[in-house]
Structure 1
Amino acid sequence: MKQCLSGWRGIYLGLAWLGVFCLAPAQAAEGVPGGWSWRLPAGFAAPVVPADNPMSQAKVELGHYLFYEKRLSGNGQLMCASCHIQRLAFTDGRPVSRGSTGEYTARSAQALMNVAWNASYTWANPALTSLETQMSVPLFGENPVEMGVNDRNKQQVLQRLQADARYRRLFRQAFAQDAAPISWRNIIRAIASFERSMVSGNSRYDRYLQGRARLTAAELRGKALFFGEKAECFHCHGGFNFSDQTVSVKTRLEDMLFHNTGLYNLDGKGAFPEGNRGVYELTGLAEDMGKFRAPSLRNIAITAPYMHDGSLKDLPSVLAFYAGGGRKISQGSYQGDGRLNPYKSELIGNIDLSRQEQQDIIAFLGTLTDQQFLHQRALADPLRR
C-alpha cells in the first residue's frame, strides 16, 4: 500500500511543485537488472531499495557525475560534494554548512556512507524515510537556501544539462524508457542511486572481526566499554552500521528512534535553541524537544566537529560530554544545564567514565575508520580521478 505525504508535510519537503509525493513500496535489493549487483562487506545484510527506483549501473554512473556537478545548483556555484567531501566520509568538516548563496544551514552535514540502510534522513525529520524525499531539502529548500533551485531557475538548470552531450548520453542510458529523460525526478533518482552505492565496511575493526587484523590493548578495552552497560554506547550505536536507525531486508524498524542527550537546557525547562529543537519542530510535542537521530559511528574519527550543530569540536569533548551526563553552559545566550534537561534520555544519566576509559573508547572509535572508502576511486570526482 502506498504511503502518501501531502498537505503541510508535502510543503515541508519542498515538493509542492510535484503535487503529492508518494513513496512506492520498497523492494529487497539483491542482484538487480541493469548491470548492478551488491558487493557487500561481511556482516552486512542487503539494503532495501524503493521499488520505483531500482539500482542500475547506468543510474549510479549518472548520479556520480551529478553529485559532483556545480551546474546543478541555481547559481552554478555549489555541488553536492561541496558539503559532502569524500576524504571526510562525505561530511564537510564544518559545524554547519554554507549554501550556494552564502547562507548557512542550522545543522551539520551528515556523513553519507551506508545511507542505503538508514531508516530516516536528516537529523530530526521522521517523515524523510528515503533518499529521494530527503533530496528535495538541499535542492529546493528556501530556509535556508542550499543548492538554490527554485521555480525561477528550475528550467534553466535543466537546460544546462540538456546542452551537455555527456549528460544527454548518460540520461538516455539510465532512463531509456523516458521520452524526455532529463528531468528533476530522474536527477533525484540518479543521485539517490549513487549515494546508495557508497558502502563503507573495511575498517580495521571489520578486519579484526574477520580475523585479519589485531586491536591494541587500549582499543580492546574501549571495545569492551563500548559494548558494555557502563558506557551505554551500543544502545544507540549498535549493529553493523553502529546506529539504531538501521534497516535491511532482514529487519524492520518498529520505532523511529530519536534522542535528547542533554546538549542544551536554555530555560531550565528543557528548551533547545530556536530553529534547532529537533523532532519537536515537526510535532510540537514537549517530549520531542531536543530529540535528534543517532548517526552511524563509522569513520567517526574524521568527521569532526560533532553533534547536530557541530558544537563539540572533537572526540575528547564528546566523551567528556557523555561522561558528564550532558553539558552545562555557564555563560552566553545558550546558558543552561543540559544535565538537568527533563527530556534527556535516561541512558545518558547512567554513564560514569574515568579519563582513561574515555581515552580507551576514543581509541576503539579510531578502529572504525575505513581508509579504502575515504580514497576509493569509484566515489571520487569522475572528472579528476
Structure 2
Amino acid sequence: MLLKRGALIGVVSTCVVLLSGCIGGESNTPMSASATQNNNIDNPADGLSGVNERTAREDLGDMLFHDVNLSLNRTMSCATCHNPQHGFIDNRENLFNQSVSMGADGIKFGTRNTPTIAYAQFSPAFFKDEATGEYVGGQFHDGRAQHLTAQVNLNGGPILNPVEMMMPDRNAVVDRLLENPDYIERFKAEFGDNIFERQGGGGGGGNPAFSRIGQAIAAFEMTDEISPFDSKYDRSLTGDYMLTAQEQRGYQLVHANCMSCHDSSAITGADKQTFSNYRYYNLGVPVNQAVRDALGNQDKDPGLAGHPNVSDEAQLGKFKTPTLRNIAITGPYMHNGVFQNLETVIAFKDYRRVANNNERVLNPKTQANWAEPDYPQTIQYTDAEAMNDQAIADIVAFLKLLTDKRYESLLD
C-alpha cells in the first residue's frame, strides 16, 4: 500500500488532488512561526506576491524548501514537486502527463498526484466530527499528517522517503545542513546554540535539528506569499474587478451545486474562503489504469481508510476535498491524476449525480465509458442539478477567477 506526499512507489506515505473529495502531514502540537524579525530579509523568493517582511524562521523555511542539497543526489527539493512558479504543483514533463510524480532517481514513479501546498495552512488539524461521524482536515490526501510541520517530518517525510529525496537517515540530513555556514548560523539563532547536538544512537532519531526542518518549512508555507487571496474573485469582492456575464453564471452554479463540499467559511471565515470543507468523500473516481499497468502495481488505493488512526471500511476510497484556489492551473486532477482538464472533472461529477446519470455515460475526453473505481460500495452520489455543456463552461469560467494574480498568465 502506498501512502505519500507526491505518492511515490514503495513509500509508506500519499497525496491526492480531488476536485471534491486533497492535500497531504503528524504531531499533535500546533506549529507557530517565530516572531523574531530579520530586517535584512525583504525580498520574497521566486517572485512570490507577498510584501510583508519575513520572520527569520519563515526565511529559513524558504531556504530549506528550495534546497536540492537535502536530497541524496542533490537534484530534488520540496520546490521540485511543488513548483512556486506553477501553483506549487509538480508540472515537470514525464511519461504520465504529470498525473503522478517522479522520484529523485528519475526512474521510480508514484501512484498519486502531487497536490498544491498553496492555502494548505487552512486545513485544520485532523479530527473526527462526532456530530456527523465524518473525518475532517489534516495534510495529504488521506489526512495522515496532523498539520504542516508533520507534513514535512512524519516518518522522516519526503526527505527520507526512499523514492523521493532518498536521504538515508536524519543524521545524514543534518550533515548536509552542517555543510552550510549560513544554516549553522540561522539554526542556532532561531532554535538555540545546542540545536545540532545529537542524542541517542543510529539514524539520528534523537536529532533535534532534523525536527526543526519541518517547523521552518511549515512557517514558510504559512506566509501570505503562499496564500495571497489576490485573485480576480477576491478583487471582485472589493470592487476592483467586475465579473463577466459568464463568470456570474458560473458563480451562481458553483454556489448552488458545489458549496456543500467546497465552503470553508465555517473554518476560515467568509473573508478567507478557500473553497473546501476539508472533509472526505468517495466520488467513485476511475482507476488510472495506464499508470497502474506501467508501474506494475494494481493495488487499490484505500484513501482515508489507509490513515493510521482510521480503521473503518466505510472510509475506503475517500479523499479530502481540496481547495479550489488555483484549480484552473493545478491539473491533472483527482487523487490519481486521471483527468487532465476541468471540463472532464465536472462532467464526471455530473455523471455521479443522484445515481449514475445516463446522459453522461461517456468520458468526453475519450468518448469511452467511465472506468470503474476501486471501491464502488462507498461512492457518495450528489443531488446537484443536471448540467449541460454550457453550464460546465460557465463553471470553468468562474473557477479560473480563483487563480492567484501571479499565475494569471498561465491561464488558457
TM-score range, shorter chain: 0.7 to 0.9
1:310 aligned residue (322, 334, 337): 337
1:1-385 matches, within 5 Å, as: 22-24=27-29, 26=30, 33-35=35-37, 57-93=55-91, 94-102=98-106, 103-119=108-124, 120-125=138-143, 127-135=144-152, 136=154, 137-142=157-162, 145-151=163-169, 154-176=170-192, 178-180=194-196, 183-197=209-223, 198-228=226-256, 232-239=257-264, 240-245=273-278, 257-264=279-286, 274-282=299-307, 283=310, 285-325=312-352, 336-337=371-372, 341-347=376-382, 350-372=384-406
1:227 alignment partner, SS class? helix
In 1, Cα distance between equivalents of 2:388 and 2:103: 40
- Residue 373 of structure 1 deviates from its aligned partner by 6.7
In 2, Cα distance between equivalents of 1:88 and 1:218: 26
CA offsets, 1:181-218, max 9 Å, x none? Answer: 88201111111111111223000000101111101000
Q: Of the two structures, which has the highest relative contact order with CA contacts closer than 8 Å and spacing of 6 or more?
A: 2
**Which residue identity does 2:282 align to in structure 1?**
N
**Which residue identity does 1:66 align to in structure 2?**
L
The TM-score, its normalising length taken from structure 1, stands at 0.72
**Which residue identity does 2:100 align to in structure 1?**
V
In 2, Cα distance between equivalents of 1:234 and 1:78: 37
**Which residue identity does 2:209 align to in structure 1?**
S
In 2, Cα distance between equivalents of 1:162 and 1:176: 15
**Which residue identity does 2:280 align to in structure 1?**
F
Contact 2:65 2:78 in 1 (8 A): yes
The TM-score, its normalising length taken from structure 2, stands at 0.68
Unaligned runs of 5+ in 2: 1-10, 15-25, 39-53, 92-97, 125-137, 198-207, 265-272, 289-297
**Residues 164 and 124 of structure 1, relative CA distance in 2, 3 Å threshold:** same
Cα RMSD (Å) of the superposition? Answer: 3.3
Q: Among the aligned pairs, what percent are the same residue?
A: 29
1:61 alignment partner, SS class? helix
- Residue 167 of structure 1 deviates from its aligned partner by 1.6
Q: Number of residue pairs matched?
A: 311
- Residue 338 of structure 1 deviates from its aligned partner by 5.0
- Residue 131 of structure 1 deviates from its aligned partner by 1.2
In 2, Cα distance between equivalents of 1:106 and 1:340: 16
- Residue 336 of structure 1 deviates from its aligned partner by 4.7
Unaligned runs of 5+ in 1: 1-10, 15-20, 37-55, 246-256, 267-272, 376-385
- Residue 157 of structure 1 deviates from its aligned partner by 3.0
1:71 alignment partner, SS class? helix
In 2, Cα distance between equivalents of 1:79 and 1:288: 33
In 2, Cα distance between equivalents of 1:293 and 1:155: 33
**Residues 99 and 303 of structure 1, relative CA distance in 2, 3 Å threshold:** same
In 2, Cα distance between equivalents of 1:260 and 1:196: 29
1:23 alignment partner, SS class? coil
In 2, Cα distance between equivalents of 1:13 and 1:362: 32
**Which residue identity does 2:184 align to in structure 1?**
R
More displaced, 75-84 or 167-176?
167-176
